[in-house]
Structure 1
Amino acid sequence: MAEGCPFHQPGHADDQVTMKSPTGCPVSPEAAAFDPFGASYQLDPAEALRWSREQEPVFFSPKLGYWVVSRFDDVKAVFRDNITFSPSIALEKLTPAPPEATKILESYGFAMRRTMVNEDEPDHMERRRLLMDAFLPENLEQHEAWVRELVRDYMDLFIDKGRADLVGEMFREIPMTVALRFLGVPHEDAKELRKFSVAHTLNTWGRPSPEQQLQIAEDVGRFWKTAQDILDRMYAEPTGEGWMYDSIRMHKVHPAIVPESYLRSMMMAILVAAHETTAFATTNAFRTLLSNRESWNDICENPALIPSAIEECLRVAGSVVAWRRIATDDTIVGGEKIPKGGKLLIVQASANRDQSHFENPDDFDIYRHNAAEHLTFGYGAHQCMGKNIARMEMRVILDEFVRRLPHVHLVEDQTFEYLPNTSFRGATSLWVEWEPAQNPERRTRSVLENPTHFHIGAPIKDDILRRVVVTEVEREAEAVIRIDLVDPHGRDLPDWSPGSHVELVSGEWRRYYSICGTRGDRSRLSFAILREPEGRGGSVHFHDTVKPGDVLHIAGPKNHFHLDETATRYTLIAGGIGITPILAMADRLKALGKPYTLHYCGAGRRTMAFLDRVERDHGAALTVHAGDEGCRLDLPRVLGGLSEGEQVYSCGPERMLEALETLAVNWPEGTLHVEHFTARSSILDPANEHAFEAVLADSDLTVQVGNDQTLLEALTAAGVDVPSDCCEGLCGTCEVAVVEGHIDHRDLVLSRTERDANDRMMACCSRAKDKRLVLSL
């Protein structure tokens, strides 16, 4: 049986296999049937590849002649390694041109060569470093006010009509206008360029017929010639403002790094990239939000949610569906052998719906804490330079709509059509309606005052808050209360998994609490709070002030304490209020029929929350260790005879967790899983720290980390998106891989063995022991 043939499993009969991949491995029936130009992929590429994510994450498509990559980790790994996986074919025509079309392009002098999208190292990063200043967050701030005025001007044209095709009347126009201004192209030249930009998409990533190719070649040729004529005028007088003028001036200083041929190719490529992708992304976002009316209403009520809503739209309905790479050597992706010269279609749209990375991936949730980890912008050295321009445009457009047309809705029964291609997706029209008499500005022009100012870059996590109402506050034990929360509109709350927590927010107070309710009951979320008079004040605040009917906010649910459901046996150990995540795990294991034992420790039964329910539901597996009864937990005895494949989960006081970690030193890696209550002091003392540099291997950048800032802060300031949550070294969200250098670990996430491996760290708190770290970023 061939290694790396995932369909060679029970249920895949050999007589079903009729083709072979370039490695000689038989092609499964599903892979043989896959057609990126078929109706299912064109309608919803992520859904069309669900079977692949679940069964065959990397497969060879005979119809396409490419290896298709569908899971998050594999897609990210290909993006990360731009040496093994060259981007040189990213702009290669998917459908070869007939000789007649080639002659047409030649007649226009078409000479599209290397751009930032399809060039290899070291040329790519040498150029990128010279030309990226204009894309940095601090340099994009100056464009926001102008973008808003532009959006208002376009809206003024149809605000009183009551009906509009947003694509034709706005969404295709604004990104092109912004792109031209950013480049420095005079406004009078914009009209000609607008006509032909769509032809490049079909020419490169589509499957036009031979007859269609001739007209497309004409349009592409005219697009090229128009762009070159504009560039010639700019080149002759390079004193203007804009990215193309900057690039021309850089060419004159560094002609070997920024040659003229590069300027000519980029003049066309960046217009397509900035225009098509942003126009499609905006169209997809509005269709998604208006199809999820409750989410639309939420951002109308709270525009601060717009950045997170945009990221979730980019995750579930991004405009960039897939990119292409070619293997420069024999390699392995997702366990599948890829030969040298093998072409890969890496499908970000599928990766963005991978349940191994996004919980409840098919749900549209504008409160999703890790939506910004989507791969729509790519990753690593070739991540989209214009991502923050696109974010800014989409946020401003959406902010203006929720102010001026909150009552807008989709026209019913309209047909959505898409340009047939493998890699970019967006409807060619989007019809909406509204009642002009209800326009807020007819009552008061104040709706145009004090617009929302958005931070440039990824969303600020503290803004992603869901409004909830307290329905019940009950005492569960001495100094322990249970709080139940519901949605204020009676909607379902998100599903959650054992080990999940929420961040509860009340004014200035933000604290993390594990969910301990009944999983499957999406009408409410329940958690327990231990009053800690000697703590930082949060628990006392919630104990003393929260009452039924109060409106609070939560972030989450999130899970950094996942239960591995594949183990053979489990030992669960809870100390005090640590019963909350452990109880949810016990409930799940019982439902699965998995063997487990549960040890619940406390000072006395009166202090042990949910004890009645634990005894009722888990009595057969339970041992209660009440200190005032002289029944203390003997960890070495209880854990002295772990069976093969058994896993241990524990949450409780630091002393107990430290004892467990000491016992686990000789256990197989991955046996012990713990969750801490609190972090060590996370206050940075510059007097006792030293500065260091972080070299980002995937992006070929170097970031300086001062003695007064964390690595996470330095990366964020440099425009590098690194997910984060607690910022206290508790959750593991901000983990980054370390290639070289010695780490000063300060987190409570990694085990001793993991720290000794010296290959990953938490960016929010850990630092370099010396002066330099090399990271896989």
Structure 2
Amino acid sequence: MKKIQVVIDRRTDEAKDVVRLVLRRQDGENLPAFSPGAHIDLFLPNGMTRQYSLIGDCSETDRYEIAISRAANSRGGSLCVHSALNEGNALDISEPRNNFPLQAGHETFLFIAGGIGITPILSMIRHCERRGWPWRLLYLARSRAHAAFHDELSRFGDRVRFHFDDEAGCLFDFTDASFTLEPGVPIYCCGPAPVMNAVEDFSSSHPDNPAFFEWFSPPAESGAREVAAGFDVKLQSSGQVLHVPEDRTILEVLEEHGYELPCSCREGMCRTCETGVIDGLPDHRDYVLSGSERAAGRTIMICVSRAKSPMLVLDV
């Protein structure tokens, strides 16, 4: 994976427990182009790699801007950002990737954000504004103090509807008659699992409104998943055949045999470990591939996905 060295040009507090970082190249050159909904990897000084959405206007590549919420149950990523990253620090990032793009064929949008889930949505709003596309936003947060970019979004008037749990005394009710949606308008949603699950339920009763989601963590399984079976992988470069037992992932087996491959989340969420499939039938268990990509079967997330065929030949 190609890494880009940047420096933290500015750090500001955006909301309670939310910090905003502006990243620039040290030589002042532009950064790679990105599309609305894209994210980058941050290679943190504690050795962790974490993904954060780009919040800026994709027409402006002199800098990248990200916002990170300090998670109460942080496994070390957001805690490192909040406690160890300061203005002037240099760090490595990846080139942008996009698992949550605006789909072609729509020019009117409903955005739903829960908490820090506003980050990929914000770049989409900026994109729509530049093109004059109509949009609306429902922004759900625990409190006004936790709502990042509240002041900026308030300037859009009635196109933005805020719901603060503490002020309302309850979570948002998607069956509320005041919440309406015209047929054909797509829904783009990012936020914690309760918000995502509620929007999934809402969208299931609105089949004319396609819904697209960016998950923070793997959604809860709705039913029992087929028990994993062992299979073999053949490495195209060397011809080596390795067995993947039922209690190991492809990534773990490759690592056990000395292969160092890019990875981050190990949950099928970030696309960092994406690997080409030369032959065989993948059993996709990720949360990032599109339906057409799954059907093509030419790529696999080796951190979670398995095989439906006895062997997979991988582009490794």
TM-score class, shorter-chain normalisation, is 0.7 to 0.9
1:668 offset after TM fit, Å?
A: 5.2
How many angstroms apart in 2 are the aligned matches of 1:489 and 1:669?
A: 48
Per the alignment, residue 501 of structure 1 pairs with 39
Question: Residues 749 and 506 from structure 1, CA distance in 2 versus in 1: closer, same or farther, beyond 3 angstroms?
Answer: closer
Do the aligned residues in 2 keep the contact of 1:572 with 1:599 (CA within 8 Å)? yes
Aligned partner of 1:767 among 303, 306, 312: 306
- CA-to-partner distance for each residue in 1:666-715, whole Å, 9 max, x for gaps? 6659921111223489xxxxxx964213589x99x895442265335668
Per the alignment, residue 592 of structure 1 pairs with 131
How many angstroms apart in 2 are the aligned matches of 1:537 and 1:723?
A: 19
Looking at secondary structure, tell me which structure has more helix per residue: 1
**SS of alignment partner, residue 646 of structure 1:** coil
Q: Does 2:99 align with 1:560?
A: yes
How many angstroms apart in 1 are the aligned matches of 2:275 and 2:102?
A: 19
How many angstroms apart in 1 are the aligned matches of 2:177 and 2:59?
A: 32
1:663 offset after TM fit, Å?
A: 3.7
Do the aligned residues in 2 keep the contact of 1:739 with 1:759 (CA within 8 Å)? no
* Structure 2: gaps spanning 5 or more residues: 221-226
Q: Does 2:26 align with 1:488?
A: yes
How many angstroms apart in 2 are the aligned matches of 1:598 and 1:504?
A: 28
Aligned partner of 1:615 among 154, 166, 191: 154
Do the aligned residues in 2 keep the contact of 1:501 with 1:514 (CA within 8 Å)? yes
Question: Residues 750 and 505 from structure 1, CA distance in 2 versus in 1: closer, same or farther, beyond 3 angstroms?
Answer: closer
How many angstroms apart in 2 are the aligned matches of 1:638 and 1:678?
A: 30
Question: Residues 759 and 487 from structure 1, CA distance in 2 versus in 1: closer, same or farther, beyond 3 angstroms?
Answer: closer
- CA-to-partner distance for each residue in 1:557-610, whole Å, 9 max, x for gaps? 222211125314211000001111101111111221212110111001101111
Question: Residues 726 and 609 from structure 1, CA distance in 2 versus in 1: closer, same or farther, beyond 3 angstroms?
Answer: same
Q: Does 2:273 align with 1:729?
A: no
Per the alignment, residue 512 of structure 1 pairs with 51
Aligned partner of 2:167 among 623, 629, 649: 629
1:526 offset after TM fit, Å?
A: 1.1
- CA-to-partner distance for each residue in 1:242-294, whole Å, 9 max, x for gaps? xxxxxxxxxxxxxxxxxxxxxxxxxxxxxxxxxxxxxxxxxxxxxxxxxxxxx
How many angstroms apart in 2 are the aligned matches of 1:578 and 1:559?
A: 15
Aligned partner of 1:551 among 90, 98, 123: 90
How many angstroms apart in 2 are the aligned matches of 1:658 and 1:746?
A: 19
Do the aligned residues in 2 keep the contact of 1:736 with 1:776 (CA within 8 Å)? yes
**SS of alignment partner, residue 118 of structure 2:** helix
Question: Residues 652 and 571 from structure 1, CA distance in 2 versus in 1: closer, same or farther, beyond 3 angstroms?
Answer: same
Question: Residues 510 and 725 from structure 1, CA distance in 2 versus in 1: closer, same or farther, beyond 3 angstroms?
Answer: closer
Paired residue total: 298
Do the aligned residues in 2 keep the contact of 1:737 with 1:775 (CA within 8 Å)? yes
Question: Residues 509 and 736 from structure 1, CA distance in 2 versus in 1: closer, same or farther, beyond 3 angstroms?
Answer: closer
Q: Does 2:298 align with 1:747?
A: no
How many angstroms apart in 1 are the aligned matches of 2:302 and 2:134?
A: 37
Question: Residues 670 and 559 from structure 1, CA distance in 2 versus in 1: closer, same or farther, beyond 3 angstroms?
Answer: farther
- CA-to-partner distance for each residue in 1:144-171, whole Å, 9 max, x for gaps? xxxxxxxxxxxxxxxxxxxxxxxxxxxx
Give the TM-score normalised by structure 2.
Answer: 0.78
- CA-to-partner distance for each residue in 1:643-683, whole Å, 9 max, x for gaps? 443211111001211232344446659921111223489xx
If asked which structure has higher relative contact order (CA below 8 Å, sep 6+), I would say: 2
RMSD: 3.9
How many angstroms apart in 1 are the aligned matches of 2:208 and 2:234?
A: 29
Equivalent position amino acid for 2:84 in 1? T
What does 1:239-318 align with in structure 2 at a 5 Å threshold? none
Per the alignment, residue 479 of structure 1 pairs with 17
Do the aligned residues in 1 keep the contact of 2:21 with 2:66 (CA within 8 Å)? yes
How many angstroms apart in 1 are the aligned matches of 2:139 and 2:251?
A: 37
Per the alignment, residue 191 of structure 1 pairs with none
What does 1:122-141 align with in structure 2 at a 5 Å threshold? none
Equivalent position amino acid for 2:102 in 1? L
Question: Residues 513 and 588 from structure 1, CA distance in 2 versus in 1: closer, same or farther, beyond 3 angstroms?
Answer: same
How many angstroms apart in 2 are the aligned matches of 1:480 and 1:465?
A: 25
How many angstroms apart in 1 are the aligned matches of 2:140 and 2:28?
A: 37
Among the aligned pairs, what percent are the same residue? Answer: 33
**SS of alignment partner, residue 591 of structure 1:** helix
How many angstroms apart in 2 are the aligned matches of 1:615 and 1:555?
A: 32
Question: Residues 738 and 569 from structure 1, CA distance in 2 versus in 1: closer, same or farther, beyond 3 angstroms?
Answer: farther
Do the aligned residues in 1 keep the contact of 2:36 with 2:123 (CA within 8 Å)? yes
Per the alignment, residue 196 of structure 2 pairs with 657
Question: Residues 656 and 638 from structure 1, CA distance in 2 versus in 1: closer, same or farther, beyond 3 angstroms?
Answer: farther
Equivalent position amino acid for 2:42 in 1? L
Do the aligned residues in 2 keep the contact of 1:579 with 1:651 (CA within 8 Å)? yes
Give the TM-score normalised by structure 1.
Answer: 0.34
What does 1:3-402 align with in structure 2 at a 5 Å threshold? none
**SS of alignment partner, residue 71 of structure 2:** coil
Equivalent position amino acid for 1:516 in 2? I
Per the alignment, residue 78 of structure 2 pairs with 539
1:726 offset after TM fit, Å?
A: 5.0
Do the aligned residues in 1 keep the contact of 2:8 with 2:21 (CA within 8 Å)? yes
Question: Residues 638 and 541 from structure 1, CA distance in 2 versus in 1: closer, same or farther, beyond 3 angstroms?
Answer: farther
How many angstroms apart in 1 are the aligned matches of 2:279 and 2:133?
A: 39
Do the aligned residues in 1 keep the contact of 2:6 with 2:92 (CA within 8 Å)? yes
Question: Residues 670 and 704 from structure 1, CA distance in 2 versus in 1: closer, same or farther, beyond 3 angstroms?
Answer: farther
Q: Does 2:109 align with 1:570?
A: yes
How many angstroms apart in 2 are the aligned matches of 1:735 and 1:728?
A: 15
How many angstroms apart in 1 are the aligned matches of 2:309 and 2:105?
A: 42
